[in-house]
Each structure stands twice: as C-alpha cells, then as structure tokens.
Amino acid sequence: MEAVLLQVLAGLATGSIYASLALALVMIYQATHLVNFAQGEMAMFATYIAWSLVNAGMGYWPAFLLTVLIAFVLGVLIERVVIRPVENAPVLAVVVVFIGLLVILNSIAGWIFSYTIKSFPSPFPAALGIRYMSPHQVGALLVTLLVLALLYVFFRFTPLGLAMRAAAQNPVSSRLVGIRVGWMLALGWGLAAAVGAIAGMMVAPIVYLDPNMMAGILLYAFAAALLGGIDSPGGAVVGGLVVGVLENLLGAFVIGNELKLVVALVLIVGVLLVRPSGFFGSVQVSRV
Amino acid sequence: MSNEKQGLRKIGTVPVFLTLVLLLVACVLPFVVSNYRTFQLTLVLVYAIALLGLNILTGYNGQISLGHGAFYAIGAYVAAMLMDQAGMPYWATIPIAGVVCLVVGFLFGLPALRLEGLYLALATFALAVSMPPILKAHFLEKWTGGVQGIVIVKPDPPAWLAAAGVKLNADQWLYYFVLAIALVLFVVGWNLISGRIGRALIAIRDHHTAAEAMGINTAIYKSLAFGVSAMYTGIAGALGAIAVQFVAPDSFTVFLSITFLVGIVVGGLASLSGALYGALFIQFVPNIADELSKAAPWAVFGVFLIAFVYLMPTGVAGALRVLLSRRRGGKLLQPKEAVP
C-alpha cells in the first residue's frame, strides 16, 4: 500500500509539470486553434538559458525570473515573426512550420550547448521534503500550483486578462471594441512560453538537461491536454495530474518503466476516438 | 477517345523524354561513381519510395502523418527479423514487409478516419515518439535484439548473373535491385494517382463533404490510402535495412519521420517526381551541412521547412513545373498540387 502511495505522490509531482506544459498548449490552442508542436523545445531552450545563467554565477531565483522573462519575450517574437504569416493558412502548412520550429530550436540548442547530458540544480531546501516525497517533488508541485493560481487571477481579475480572453473568443467583436487582437495573441504566446519555461526548469532536475529531454514530456502534455479537453485550462491541469499518476502507477506495477511512453500514445489515440472533446472540453459543432 | 491516349497527352512529350534520360543516367551511374556513392544513391532510391508513400497520404489525400518513420521501422524490422531469425533470403522479405505494413497502416488508418488535420498529426506524432521504446521493450528482445538491434549481411549478386557474364559487386547489385523495385512502385503509384482512385483521393482532400456527396466512399478510400502509404514506406524500410545492414531502435526516432516530412515539403507535395527531389535533398544536404557542425543538418532542415512553406509551397517539383511550362509558353500542365 505504501508503495502505491509513493507512486501516486510521485505521479502528482511529475503530473503537475505535465499540467503546466499542457496549460501552455491549451493557452495557445484557445487563442489560435493551433497545437504547438514546438512547445516542448521552447521550454527546453529556456531551460538551457537558465542553466547558462546559473553557471555564469547568478543565483537560482534571479536566474529563474530572468529566464521566465526571456522566454516570454522569445514567445512573443516567435508569434510575431514565424507564426503570424501562416495564421490563416491550411493546417498542413501550420504543422510544417511548427515542426520546422521544433527542429530549429532543437538543433540550435545542440549547436550551442552540445548534446552531452547536463545536470540541472534543484532550488528547494531539504527541509521541504516529507516522508513520501523528495524536496524537489514537493517544490515542483508548489511552484506549479502557484503558477496556476497566478494565471487564474490574471485571466479572471485583470483588464488585460479579460481582453486576452475576449480576443481569443471573438476576435471580430474584440477588434470593434478596441482590443488589439494581434498583440493579444502574441501576449498569449509569450505567457505560454513563460509557463513552458517554468515547466522545463522544474522537470530538468528529474530528467536531466539535454536537447531531446522534452520529447516524452511533450507527449504526456498532449495526452493531458486532450484528456482534460484541449480548450479547457482547468481540464489541462486535472488531465496533467491524472496522466502523471496513471503513468507512474502503470510504469511501476503493470507494464514496466520502458513502455511508459506507450501509455501516452494509447491515451492520445483513445481519447481522440472515444471522447474527442475530453472530460471538460466543449464539443465542436460545425456547419457544412 | 481511349483513356491511354488522354493519359499520354496529359504527361506531354518533354517529361517523358526527361524521364527516359533520367532512367538511362540512373542505369549508368553505378559504373561511373565509387562504391560508397553507389550506396548513397541506393539510399536515395529507398527514401524516394518512402516519400512516395507519404505523398500518397499527405500530399494527395490530405491526411497529415508525422509518424511514417514508425512504418519505415516496422518494414525494416520485419525484413531484419525474417533474415536473422528465419534465415529467409533478402528478396523474399520485401513483399512480407510490404504486406505487414499494409495491414498495420490500414488498421491505424481506421481510427485515423475520425481524426482530422491537427489531431491526426498529433496521433501520428505520438506514434513516432513511442516507436523506439516499443522496439526496445524487453518482452520483444528475443526477436528485435533490444537496444543492440540486428546486424544483417549484405546480399551478394545472384549466381545466374555471374553465369550470364555480368560482373557486379554487392553495392552495384543492391542498387539495381532497389532501382527495379522503385520503378515498379513508381509506375504503380502513377497508375493509382492518375486514375479514378487518385481523383477520389484528391477530391476527399479538397472537399471532404462534397466528395462524400458525390458518392465516394470516403472511409474506404482514406483507410486504404493509409494502408498503401504505409506499405510503400514499409517496403522502403525493408530495403533500407538491407542496404544499411543494420537496424536499431534509435535509428527510428521521431526525427526520421520529420526527415520524411522535410522530403515531401522540399520535393513537392502531391507530386510523384517530387519524391525523387526530396530524397536527393534529405540524403545529400545533411552530408554537406555535417561538415559545419553535428547540429547543422537539422538547422538546415528546419530553415528549409519554414522557408518552403512561405516561399515555395509547391516544392521543387512545383517550381520546375512552372519553369517548364513558362518555357513552352503554355499554361500549367496539371495544377493538381496542394497549396499547403
């Protein structure tokens, strides 16, 4: 029983990281109805920036904040420069651009930082650990919950958050009331990149830092976002936690660690087939 | 008027002439270049088959697949396992690899029926990412060799060839063997695309509802397109495994699938000749860029992916078609390609 509890708690910790990446995916999906295949690589790249800052002698938390800021700016830039021209293009073109972005970020990271695996520091003091969880697991869970709370407050209670929600929901009317929709989308990308960067920095001490570290994580995040409903932020969080726990339990007791990724594949295909809108998503109806 | 005549008129004389010249060059090349280049050209043909398969699905039928590396892997492993475990001759493994991939592709195509655009891309992406762990899995290790993979021997030219007085080394023989299969598959592909089935596939891509209203059984066509596409790629995988003499899980990561995507985007979506241009690109450009840095080939791939979407959405094949028709002062021959 204790072993199960251990796995569930560990699952919640990693699940919270999947949840933040899934949330980043959902934010971009809500704004532009696109699934960002490069989200994982953007997070990976930001984590490398944090690593360089820490290595250059900066304290962890200043480096953390600076990285989040840089990731935000990079996210805005990517939206403005790369994504904007294909905003209304057919799906295939958009997917190709995202994959191109993924490949470019991956190779630049390999080029600058080499493909050797690096360790990434965990900022949390040993006192944070409890009986069943390591300090980093507790810390990652807390940081994720804090980020979620901040995002909720931002979107629910600030005028800018309201404008962003409006721009995502109804661009035409938003434009009529004076919201600069294009910039709202860019801000959404920036926020998603920042949230992704936090996810990357939280997961790097667990999976170690290398240019391909996010491939698996991104897959779990996809599964989480789809499970919760790709247009539901709350659903993404619940989905992330569920996927984390499921992955850990199945990996530990049923199929073994090496086939964990297949869980994500089965979940993704399964959800898309059985309930494409996920648990909390809205059902899409289209006229022909 | 007979169909054949229409078909011939559609192609025009210039492309037919060019194809014949190209074929002649392809036949002579192994005697002119080194064995290593011959091996590289063999891989170009292998990739061309795989790209043709992906193009049938993504280019002509509009179903996005980011997971064709997985079918390539299945084909490669079927061939390698049959040669290694069952001691089968290499040529006998090719049709089996094709049939296995046809079935697997068709089965994956059934759920894919319910997925459109982005979601299909997601599902196939997941397939590509989870392929290496499946191949490494412990319970399959007996057959797949686990992380180590399987080493296979390069086939020798058959005895009857030497008896007939033709002297080829192993690399040259394999090249001609792959060339012959590629020719057959391209002719089959051309027949498939230029006929009734091809029109149905394109109609489904361009307007799903209208195609259905016109009486096309979209479910059958879409899942068959998936199956045939996987079959082509699987055959390519089997041939690739024989040429490289080695299969291992880490050769078939998601980046292989992305390489194929680069190939069809650069070569030209919905174009048969595009498969060849794309194959040349993905075989030789990384070799050149590799001298700069280990990461450079991928940086180049990424930049080309994005640049082609913006600047040349019909790929090399589309650009060539425009050039050719401009020279002849006529209209476009067959403006069939997708605008991606």
Specify if B291 maps to a domain: no
> Percent of chain B beyond pLDDT 70?
93
How many domains are contained in chain A?
1
Which of B113, B114, B252, B305 to mutate: most A Cβ within 10 Å?
B305
Q: Among A275-279, B36-40, B237-241, which is the least confidently predicted range?
A: A275-279
d(CA A162, CA A156): 7
For residues B126-136, average pLDDT: 90
Q: Where are the beta strands (DSSP E) in A85-212?
A: none
What tens digit of pLDDT does each residue of A153-163 get? 998 899 998 99
Mean pLDDT of chain A: 88
SS3 B146: helix
pLDDT at residue A286 tops 50 = yes
What is the pTM for the complete model shown? 0.89
Where residue A24 sits, what CATH number does that domain have? 1.10.3470
State whether the Cα torsion A240-A246-A249-A254 is positive or negative.
Answer: negative
Beta bridge partners of A118: A209
> Per the CB < 8 Å rule, is A115 touching B294?
yes
What local confidence, expressed as pLDDT, does residue A252 receive? 82
Which residue is associated with the tokens 């409006």? A166
Q: Which two tokens stand for residue B156?
A: 């020798």
C-beta of residue A268 within 8 angstroms of C-beta of residue B124: no
Q: What is the domain range of residue A237? A: 2-123+133-274
Specify if A283 maps to a domain: no
Mean pLDDT of chain B: 87
Q: Among A122-126, B155-159, B292-296, B331-335, which is the least confidently predicted range?
A: B331-335
Q: Which residue of B has its CA nearest to A90?
A: B340
Quickly state the pLDDT bin for B119 (edges 50, 70, 90).
confident
Q: Which residue of A has its CA nearest to B213?
A: A288
Specify if B80 maps to a domain: yes
> Within an 8 Å CB–CB cutoff, is residue A217 touching chain B?
no
State residue B247 phi and psi, 5-degree precision.
-130, 140
Write out residues 130-169 of A within 8 Å (CB-CB) of B: none
State how far residue B36 is from chain A, nearest Cα, in angstroms: 27
For residues B286-297, average pLDDT: 80
Name the H helices within chain A.
2-32, 39-55, 60-78, 91-113, 135-157, 159-169, 171-176, 181-207, 214-228, 233-253, 260-274
Closest partner residue to A91 (CB to CB) among B64, B133, B297 is: B64
C-beta of residue A277 within 8 angstroms of C-beta of residue A224: no
Quickly state the pLDDT bin for B145 (edges 50, 70, 90).
confident
Quickly state the pLDDT bin for A170 (edges 50, 70, 90).
confident
Which of A103, A112, A212, A266 to mutate: most B Cβ within 10 Å?
A103
Residue type at B89 in one-letter notation: P
Which of B125, B136, B254, B294 to mutate: most A Cβ within 10 Å?
B125
- Close Cβ partners of A235 (under 8 Å, ≥ 6 residues apart): A26, A225, A227, A228, A229, A278, A279, A280, A281
C-beta of residue A5 within 8 angstroms of C-beta of residue A134: no
Quickly state the pLDDT bin for B282 (edges 50, 70, 90).
very high
Specify if B312 maps to a domain: no
What tens digit of pLDDT does each residue of B292-320 get? 777 788 888 999 899 998 888 888 888 88
> Per the CB < 8 Å rule, is A272 touching B115?
yes
A104 interaction partners in chain B (CB closer than 8 Å): 298-299, 302-303, 306
DSSP assignment of B27-54 equals: HHHHHHS-HHHHHHHHHHHHHHHHHHHH
How many domains are contained in chain B?
1
Write out residues 227-256 of A within 8 Å (CB-CB) of B: 256
Q: Which two tokens stand for residue A3?
A: 């072993």
> Per the CB < 8 Å rule, is B134 touching A262?
yes
For residues B259-267, average pLDDT: 93
Could you give the count of Cα atoms lying within 13 Å of B244 in the half-sphere of its Cβ? Answer: 21
d(CA A148, CA A164): 17
State how far residue B108 is from chain A, nearest Cα, in angstroms: 10
pLDDT at residue B174 tops 70 = yes
Closest partner residue to B305 (CB to CB) among A90, A99, A260 is: A99
What local confidence, expressed as pLDDT, does residue A165 receive? 87
C-beta of residue B132 within 8 angstroms of C-beta of residue B229: no
d(CA B296, CA A29): 31
> Per the CB < 8 Å rule, is B64 touching A92?
yes
Specify if A279 maps to a domain: no
Specify if A282 maps to a domain: no
> Percent of chain A beyond pLDDT 90?
40
d(CA B160, CA B171): 17
Q: What is the domain range of residue B51? A: 38-155+165-252
d(CA A151, CA A148): 5
> Per the CB < 8 Å rule, is B138 touching A258?
yes
What tens digit of pLDDT does each residue of B57-92 get? 999 999 999 999 999 999 999 999 999 888 889 999
Beta bridge partners of A209: A118
Quickly state the pLDDT bin for B8 (edges 50, 70, 90).
very low
What local confidence, expressed as pLDDT, does residue B22 receive? 87
Q: Among A40-54, A183-197, B133-147, B215-229, which is the least confidently predicted range?
A: B133-147
- Close Cβ partners of B304 (under 8 Å, ≥ 6 residues apart): A100, B262, B265, B266, B281, B285
Quickly state the pLDDT bin for B264 (edges 50, 70, 90).
very high
What local confidence, expressed as pLDDT, does residue B1 receive? 38
Specify if B221 maps to a domain: yes
Specify if A248 maps to a domain: yes
Q: Which two tokens stand for residue B20?
A: 């014949």
Specify if B270 maps to a domain: no
> Percent of chain A beyond pLDDT 70?
99
For residues B220-239, average pLDDT: 94
Quickly state the pLDDT bin for B156 (edges 50, 70, 90).
confident
For residues A62-75, average pLDDT: 95
d(CA B27, CA B37): 14
pLDDT at residue B6 tops 50 = no
pLDDT at residue A117 tops 60 = yes
What tens digit of pLDDT does each residue of A119-155 get? 888 888 887 777 778 888 889 889 988 998 898 899 8
What local confidence, expressed as pLDDT, does residue B12 receive? 66
pLDDT at residue A243 tops 90 = yes
> Percent of chain B beyond pLDDT 90?
46
pLDDT at residue B96 tops 70 = yes
Q: Which residue of B has its CA nearest to A277?
A: B119
Quickly state the pLDDT bin for B138 (edges 50, 70, 90).
confident
Q: By CB neighbour count within 10 A (0-12 exposed, 13-18 middle, 19+ buried), where does A1 fall?
A: exposed
A115 interaction partners in chain B (CB closer than 8 Å): 294-295
pLDDT at residue B158 tops 50 = yes
Specify if A286 maps to a domain: no
For residues B236-254, average pLDDT: 92
